[in-house]
Amino acid sequence: MSECCNGHEHDKKNDDKNNKLDMILTIIGIVIFAFSIYISNLNEIISLIGYILSYALIGYEIVFNAFKRLFKKDMFDENFLMMLATFGAFAIGEYTEAVAVILFYKIGELLQDKAVENSKKKISETIDIRATSASVKREGVIYDIKPEELKIKDIVVIKTGEKIPVDGKLLSDSAQLDMSALTGESKPVSLNKEQEVLSGSVNIGSLIELEVTKTFENSTVSRIIEMIENANSKKSNTEKFITRFAKIYTPIVTIIAILIALMPLFISISYVESLHRAFTFLVISCPCALVISVPLGFFVGIGTTSKKGILIKGSNYLDNLASIKTVIFDKTGTLTKGVFEVTKIISFGNMSEQEIIEKIALCEYYSNHYIAKSILNYYGKNIDTSKILSHEEIAGKGLKVKIEGQDILTGNYILMEENNIAVDKVIDIGTVCYLAINNKCEGCVILSDVLKEDIKDLISSLNNIGIKRCIMLTGDSSKVAKSIGESLGIKEVYSELLPEDKANIFEKIKKEEKENKIAYLGDGINDSPVLAMADVGISMGKGSDIAIETSDVVIMSDEPSKLIDAVKIARRTRNIVKENIIFAIAIKVLFLILSSLGMTSMWFAIFADVGVALITILNSIRIFYKFK
């Protein structure tokens, strides 16, 4: 990672050096150009040499790039068009105009590059929350080092107001963290000893210590920044269209320019005038505004969502978000907290309620499932793991455990049925976890999930922004699913589903929706197949590795209501990108017509090229400020 960073810094230094040299040569070129204009009436030969020299100093890079691409697939770019137009101006004796065009084009390009650089820098600074240093404690001595140099098991000391440099395990008794940069949520988060601490958070409490669990490059904040920076590689359909458009458009306008140059063969016009119109036409035709502003617009959109705690892996997913008509929700961990509370214990035989919960807690000890954690929290006592001889998880159904000579099954009703264990199905609002010992069902516990605080108005808010079909998929009983669906206003509910059932139902819904885009919100753990099948797969979950890996979008704050922000920003981005496309094409077409009729000069051509590009760049920044 450090080598990569050093390489990046080296490249940046080289770029800065080249930019400085380019600026010096341009200034010298401007001085010579001014001298050439001054002396033009006194000595034409010296004046011409001055024009050629100033052109070479100012436009050498443009000409070099044009010749480098000559006879290649991408030869018809703005460098080629500008070279052709200015060479043509020299050919017809318009020396002042030729140098002036290349000069103002160069200045415009510099302004344009600066505007793009500043825009990207502003967005990047807003979302780049990596710490620049870390205080590591080694053998009782604290050293200040770069976060890249931290190793697993290192002890890091974080003072009040400092950023957490890497992911780690909290060693202090408690911590107060500001996680707004990660989640977009301004409310401070309290953590206790042994809990996971995410990099990018800010310590707003007293001094804390943590044990490093992930290196800098593998920590949450580095992966998030890398994901955002790489998002440009996944282009939207709009960006792909513009790329294809530019490749076809440029050769066409070059042919039209040639036809304009040949106008004297058909109408009464001088060759000088027709060539002037043709070269002006070429300058105007440069598609800079489209090629630059469209990807920049999507970059700003992705940066804006990340500031809200919504990470989007590519502009194609941002584009799809703007078009979604149907949203499918997983229930547990998405609409609900996934924090189950034991509400009832039922004994079917001679075992007491305490014995039932104790036996189930013993079975669930090695499981990471929400239900297992809730049962263990409810039991609240130490577990003697020496009693557990074997442990097997059965996906979507439960556990098969051997404890002190007893064969135990604990899980849902389907697990009992498949193992031919006689039991009357318990009908209750909640998740039922049965306990069977040596093929006899002894009892069950009932757990109820808790809805997330921000979920109440989600469905109505989605309806208000034009998403009319909301569907819930869950492995819970139909009674529980129906109850939650009714409380949230979700009319379509599918219950008692296994992971493969969710995929089958999703396929069915996709056929019904045909061309409409579908988003799926899941917790990123057991919803991977459906997340992958959706047009936009959205994971809930505060930066978990699985959430970041399996989905197209990650809502870091674990708030489903953030979907509203994501859709609004996506639509705003698409609208502004469309504005840029329409504006750029309209101005281009107008000026191309005027230039072919001889009603514009090279000065207007520069505005139609660089000026329009600058306007569309500034328009793209409106996305960020609208949702700041």
Which domains can be identified in the chain, with CATH numbers?
134-164+166-218 (2.70.150.10), 309-335+452-570 (3.40.50.1000), 341-448 (3.40.1110.10)
Task: State pLDDT tens for residues 308-325.
Answer: 888 888 888 999 999 999
**pLDDT classification of 128: cutoffs 50, 70, 90:** low
Strands 492-494 and 406-411: unpaired
Average pLDDT over all residues of the chain: 84
Confidence of residue 121 (pLDDT cuts 50, 70, 90): low
The pLDDT tens digits of the residues spanning 511-562 come to 998 888 999 998 766 677 788 889 999 988 654 566 567 788 888 877 899 9
Could you give the CA distance from residue 70 to residue 540 in angstroms, rounded to a whole number?
Answer: 50
Query: What 8-state DSSP symbol labels residue 554?
Result: E
Sign of CA dihedral 190, 191, 197, 203: positive
Catalytic center residues? 330
Higher pLDDT, 246 or 381: 381
Decide if 431 contacts 340 (C-beta within 8 A).
yes
C-alpha count within 13 angstroms, C-beta hemisphere, residue 5: 11
What per-residue confidence (pLDDT) applies to 234?
Answer: 65
Burial class (CB in 10 A: 0-12, 13-18, 19+), 208: buried
C-alpha distances (whole Å) from 64 to each of 32, 75, 251 are: 21, 12, 20
Quote the CA–CA distance of 571 and 577 in Å, as a whole number.
10
Judge if pTM exceeds 0.85.
no
How far apart are the C-alpha atoms of 293 and 314, rounded to whole Å?
Answer: 16
Least confident of 247-251, 276-280, 431-435: 247-251
Q: What is the mean pLDDT of residues 364-369?
A: 87
- Residue 9's pLDDT band, with cuts at 50, 70 and 90, is very low
Look at residue 515 in the predicted model and tell me its pLDDT.
Answer: 81
**Which amino acid, 246?**
A
Would you tell me how many other CB atoms lie within 10 Å of the CB of residue 411? 26
Within a 13 Å sphere around the CA of 35, how many CA atoms are in the beta-carbon half?
16
H or E element that contains 21 = helix 2-39
pLDDT beyond 80 at 626? no
* Token digits of residue 326: 């149907």
Give CA–CA dist 47/32, Å, rounded: 9
The residues, any chain, with a CB within 8 Å of residue 518's CB and separated by 6 or more, are: 324, 325, 326, 327, 328, 506, 509, 510, 534, 535, 536
Give whole-number Cα distances, 343 to 63, 179, 336, 339, 433, in Å: 77, 33, 16, 12, 12
Q: Which of 122-136, 354-368, 419-433 has the lowest mean pLDDT?
A: 122-136
Task: Give the other-Cβ count within 10 Å of 157's Cβ.
Answer: 16
Phi, psi of 528 (to 5 degrees): -55, -45
- 436: closest CA among 397, 386, 475, 387? 397
Tens-place pLDDT, residues 431-445:
889 999 999 999 999
Q: Do the beta carbons of residue 254 and residue 282 sit within 8 Å?
A: yes
First-to-last C-alpha distance (Å) of the chain: 31
